[in-house]
């Protein structure tokens, strides 16, 4: 007989930044099924991950007891070991022993090597409150700003450009505004796969007359519905966007009144794009000059044009420059500050916006208040009850910089909560060697991830449906996630674990409920100052900026001014910088990494969700059929992909969306961990690695 739920719990999806609201249907402390709710971002819709990706929480491989590495177990980084042999490497411990070992050793390292010898990676999978407490622990307990999370690997460059150009790192308009746009300009993003419910709103809009301009080196499924689809060459974003701006300037399509009233720096930008005629840039970009002219005119002259972008834009050594160009495009045409216009970097993980807002980044305290500002530091010292002058006044190390610092002996101990850098970092072999070289690694997670294998102590944590907390989606909606089931065994709430570790480092915290953490957050973060826990409980979601209690929240911002000192947005010109590692005779092809519909990030959750794993069980590489034929292969063949940093073997899938000479590989498969091949070269402004371009060679077999 069909089981009937004994409880329904209203929450949000744990996967992407769209932030679909859902209902967990629960019986006997198990989730039976999930349904969509009428949330502002989804109105009842869910994609395959949201609907079927829930039973990872009940997977038998959940961590249920603290583990401590055996003294004689080497940190070999051998991830192919039999999971049944885990107990040869770790032994079970009580919470008391594990916390004393975890926190006590971190404290000892701090005392022996100094405050900057520790670092922490939090997670965009966690709640706002977890992110806030984690960064507070690093800043007050460790004593430095060495705290970061996966935003460094996805949209850090977009955020740097947005903060610099328009004074806010978040989106200007919600996804749903595509239904109000006359033109949608979508670049370097594949929302059908990565933000599926957002893609459904876009498809609805197109059916109602919105014109989609799609620009991407890969020809995604949305190309079929696009008014114009331009498959430009990977790595040529700045050339293409500057050429569009050249057209807009030379043909007099700028919004001069907007430029005069609301921006600075236009003359410098205008001068810069003079040298980027479409005719000169067309061969570089691999598309016709006329096509560039056409889309530039269409974008500039529509009543409302909206730009959305993804990691095809951000994950380059010129990611910040790419985003600067998009911002300039919107500013010079006045396509911002109204419904159906604006700038929307589609955020990846479900709480990457909120975790960044909450200060889980090395250069800023919560709400993007800079650590170098003495007034800001004094305010946080007061709010956090720490000694005046005690907060670090220098920006901390970013994700990839931490790995280099470990290799140099500067970082000796780490606390990693919910991240899996052994899989997600570029040049993952280097990252794994670095993690193995630490004197002390504390990992808090729900499964034995690839990073856990290198840990000295593993703390079993709570999965998404096992805790209360707020989460902020790509639209700046702060939403309530609610506890539906209990953690298994002796796994504990993440907030409790963070607090216990903090107290081992002399923090003396006593938060009794998640709402107390949220209340402290909102008093240090002006943009959410008007959102109370009670309101979130009542309304389920509130958009920020919401400065005063009772504010409705602003879904469209920059209507009258920009949150910069002079109230004006700033143009920042950009010139062409090539990818760090170009193809050559030895490595003649290009590797592009990303996600696929069924699996999320490093796969630790979705590959343990029954339906999702059944749909996509094996590692695949997407190769153009002509390239595959040229190397003597067929769909389904095993191929070996090799870069200067490593090699992986996986199945070839013929895919006409891939450009000739490029191979696309999802990064979720531990048995073919593609980040062993990627390049750790960084964008100089945002320190984001170049996941979207490195040189490889491929062979069948």
**Residues at the contact surface with ligand SF4, assessed by CB under 6 A:** 13, 15-16, 18-20, 42, 46-47, 49-50, 195-197
Q: Which is closer to ligand SF4, CB of 325 or CB of 346?
A: 346
Backbone dihedral region of 362: left (phi > 0), alpha (psi from -120 to 50 degrees) or beta? alpha
Least distance in angstroms from the C-beta of 691 to ligand SF4: 20
Is the omega angle on the peptide bond into residue 161 within 30 degrees of 0, that is, cis? Answer: no
Q: Which is closer to ligand SF4, CB of 359 or CB of 469?
A: 469
Parallel, antiparallel or unpaired: strands 457-460 and 67-69 = antiparallel
Least distance in angstroms from the C-beta of 570 to ligand SF4: 33
- What Å distances lie between residue 295 and 56, 185, 306, 538, CA to CA? 44, 9, 13, 45
Least distance in angstroms from the C-beta of 196 to ligand SF4: 5
Q: What is the dihedral of CA 667, 671, 676, 682, to 10 degrees?
A: 20
Least distance in angstroms from the C-beta of 386 to ligand SF4: 37
DSSP state of 349: B
Q: Within 10 A of 83 (CB to CB), how many other CB atoms are there?
A: 8
Closest CA to 177 of 210, 217, 143: 210
Q: Which residues of 151-170 are buried (b: 16+ CB within 10 A; e: fewer)?
A: bbbbbbbbbbbbbbbbbbbb
Per-residue HEC secondary structure of 80-95 comes to CCCHHHHHHHEEECCH
**118 neighbors 142 (Cβ within 8 angstroms):** yes
Token reading at 319: 């990611």
Least distance in angstroms from the C-beta of 95 to ligand SF4: 32
CA–CA gap between residue 73 and residue 687 (Å, rounded):
34
CA–CA gap between residue 458 and residue 460 (Å, rounded):
6
CA–CA gap between residue 11 and residue 271 (Å, rounded):
50
Least distance in angstroms from the C-beta of 49 to ligand SF4: 4
Closest CA to 81 of 584, 590, 454, 536: 454
Q: Which is closer to ligand SF4, CB of 182 or CB of 598?
A: 598
Phi first, then psi: give them for residue 133, nearest 5 degrees.
-65, -35
Least distance in angstroms from the C-beta of 203 to ligand SF4: 13
Least distance in angstroms from the C-beta of 428 to ligand SF4: 25
Least distance in angstroms from the C-beta of 650 to ligand SF4: 24
Closest CA to 543 of 363, 368, 696, 353: 353
CA–CA gap between residue 471 and residue 402 (Å, rounded):
26
Q: Which residues contact 470 (CB under 8 A, 6 or more apart)?
A: 127, 128, 129, 354, 478, 479, 480, 481, 518, 536
Q: Which is closer to ligand SF4, CB of 42 or CB of 127?
A: 42
Least distance in angstroms from the C-beta of 195 to ligand SF4: 6
Closest CA to 189 of 61, 278, 322: 322
Least distance in angstroms from the C-beta of 615 to ligand SF4: 14
CA–CA gap between residue 531 and residue 544 (Å, rounded):
8
Q: Which is closer to ligand SF4, CB of 196 or CB of 337?
A: 196
Least distance in angstroms from the C-beta of 50 to ligand SF4: 2
CA–CA gap between residue 201 and residue 430 (Å, rounded):
41
Q: Which is closer to ligand SF4, CB of 20 or CB of 171?
A: 20
Q: Which is closer to ligand SF4, CB of 16 or CB of 609?
A: 16
Q: Which is closer to ligand SF4, CB of 13 or CB of 620?
A: 13
Q: Which is closer to ligand SF4, CB of 614 or CB of 700?
A: 614
Least distance in angstroms from the C-beta of 607 to ligand SF4: 15
Q: Which is closer to ligand SF4, CB of 12 or CB of 230?
A: 12
Q: Which is closer to ligand SF4, CB of 195 or CB of 344?
A: 195
Helix (H/G/I), strand (E/B), else coil: 342 = strand
Least distance in angstroms from the C-beta of 230 to ligand SF4: 26
Least distance in angstroms from the C-beta of 211 to ligand SF4: 24
The CB-nearest residue to ligand SF4 is 50
CA–CA gap between residue 137 and residue 509 (Å, rounded):
10
Token reading at 688: 């984001």
Q: Which is closer to ligand SF4, CB of 367 or CB of 598?
A: 598
Q: Within 10 A of 286 (CB to CB), how many other CB atoms are there?
A: 15
Q: Which is closer to ligand SF4, CB of 50 or CB of 340?
A: 50
Q: Which is closer to ligand SF4, CB of 192 or CB of 322?
A: 192
Beta strands in 346-496 (DSSP E): 364-365, 369-370, 413-417, 440-445, 457-460, 469-472, 477-481
For the beta sheet containing 147-148, the strands, ordered from the edge strand earlier in sequence to the opposite edge, are 90-92, 67-69, 457-460, 440-445, 413-417, 118-121, 147-148
Beta strands in 544-612 (DSSP E): 569-570, 589-594
Q: Which is closer to ligand SF4, CB of 41 or CB of 181?
A: 41
Least distance in angstroms from the C-beta of 179 to ligand SF4: 16
**414 neighbors 121 (Cβ within 8 angstroms):** yes
Q: Within 10 A of 149 (CB to CB), how many other CB atoms are there?
A: 31
Q: Which is closer to ligand SF4, CB of 16 or CB of 330?
A: 16
Q: Which is closer to ligand SF4, CB of 40 or CB of 396?
A: 40
Least distance in angstroms from the C-beta of 473 to ligand SF4: 8
């Amino acid at each position: 007989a069909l089981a009937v739920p004994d409880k329904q719990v209203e929450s949000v999806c744990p996967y992407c930044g769209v932030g679909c609201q859902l209902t967990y249907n629960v019986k006997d402390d198990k989730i039976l099924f999930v349904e969509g709710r009428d949330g502002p971002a989804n109105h009842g819709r869910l994609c395959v991950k949201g609907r079927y990706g829930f039973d990872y929480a009940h997977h038998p491989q959940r961590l249920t007891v603290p583990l401590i590495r055996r003294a004689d177990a080497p940190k070999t980084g051998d991830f192919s070991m039999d999971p049944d042999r885990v107990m040869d490497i770790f032994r079970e411990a009580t919470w008391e022993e594990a916390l004393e070992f975890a926190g006590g050793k971190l404290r000892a390292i701090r005392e022996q090597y100094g405050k900057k010898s520790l670092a922490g990676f939090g997670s965009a999978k966690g709640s706002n409150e977890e992110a806030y407490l984690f960064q507070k622990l690093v800043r007050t307990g460790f004593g430095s700003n060495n705290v970061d999370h996966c935003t460094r690997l996805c949209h850090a460059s977009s955020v740097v450009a947005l903060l610099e150009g328009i004074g806010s790192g978040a989106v200007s308009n919600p996804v749903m505004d595509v239904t109000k746009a006359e033109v949608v300009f979508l670049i370097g993003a594949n929302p059908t796969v990565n933000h599926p419910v957002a893609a459904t709103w876009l498809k609805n809009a197109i059916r109602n007359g919105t014109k989609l301009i799609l620009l991407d080196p890969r020809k995604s499924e949305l190309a079929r519905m696009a008014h114009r689809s331009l498959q430009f060459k990977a790595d040529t974003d700045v050339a293409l966007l500057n050429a569009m701006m050249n057209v807009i300037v030379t043909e007099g399509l700028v919004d001069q009144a907007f430029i005069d009233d609301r921006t600075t720096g236009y003359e410098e930008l205008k001068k810069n794009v003079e040298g980027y005629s479409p005719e000169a840039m067309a061969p570089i970009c691999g598309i016709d000059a006329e096509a560039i002219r056409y889309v530039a005119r269409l974008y500039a002259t529509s009543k409302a044009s909206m730009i959305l972008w993804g990691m095809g834009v951000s994950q380059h050594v010129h990611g910040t420059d790419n985003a600067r160009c998009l911002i300039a495009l919107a500013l010079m045409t006045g396509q911002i500050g109204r419904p159906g216009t604006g700038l929307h970097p589609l955020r990846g993980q479900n709480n990457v916006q909120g975790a960044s807002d909450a200060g889980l980044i090395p250069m800023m305290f919560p709400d993007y208040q800079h650590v170098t500002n003495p007034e800001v530091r004094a305010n946080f010292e007061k709010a956090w009850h720490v000694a005046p002058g005690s907060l670090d006044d220098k920006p901390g190390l970013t994700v990839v910089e931490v790995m280099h610092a470990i290799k140099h002996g500067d970082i000796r101990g780490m606390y990693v909560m919910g991240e899996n850098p052994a899989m997600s970092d570029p040049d993952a072999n280097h990252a794994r060697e670095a993690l193995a070289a630490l004197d002390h690694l504390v990992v808090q997670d729900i499964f034995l991830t690839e990073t856990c294998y290198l840990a000295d102590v593993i703390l079993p944590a709570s999965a998404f449906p096992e805790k209360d907390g707020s989460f902020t989606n790509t639209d700046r909606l702060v939403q309530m996630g609610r506890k539906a089931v209990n953690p298994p065994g002796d796994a504990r709430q993440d907030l409790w674990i963070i607090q216990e570790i903090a107290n081992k480092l002399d923090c003396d915290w006593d938060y009794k409920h998640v709402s107390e953490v949220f209340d402290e957050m909102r008093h240090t973060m002006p943009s959410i100052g008007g959102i109370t826990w009670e309101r979130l409980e009542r309304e389920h979601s509130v958009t920020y900026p919401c400065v005063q209690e009772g504010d409705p929240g602003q879904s469209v911002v920059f209507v009258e001014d920009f949150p910069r000192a002079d109230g004006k947005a700033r143009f920042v010109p950009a010139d062409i910088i090539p990818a760090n590692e170009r193809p050559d005779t030895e490595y003649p092809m290009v590797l592009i990494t990303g996600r696929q519909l069924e699996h999320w990030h490093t796969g630790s959750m979705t590959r343990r969700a029954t339906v999702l794993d059944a749909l996509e069980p094996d590692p695949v590489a997407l190769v153009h059929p002509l390239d595959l034929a040229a190397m003597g292969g067929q769909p389904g063949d095993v191929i070996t992909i090799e870069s200067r940093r490593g090699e992986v073997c996986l199945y070839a899938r013929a895919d006409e969306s891939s450009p000739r000479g490029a191979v696309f590989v999802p990064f979720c498969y531990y048995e073919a961990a593609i980040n062993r091949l990627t390049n750790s070269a960084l964008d100089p402004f945002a320190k984001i690695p170049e996941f979207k371009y490195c040189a490889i060679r491929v062979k069948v077999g």
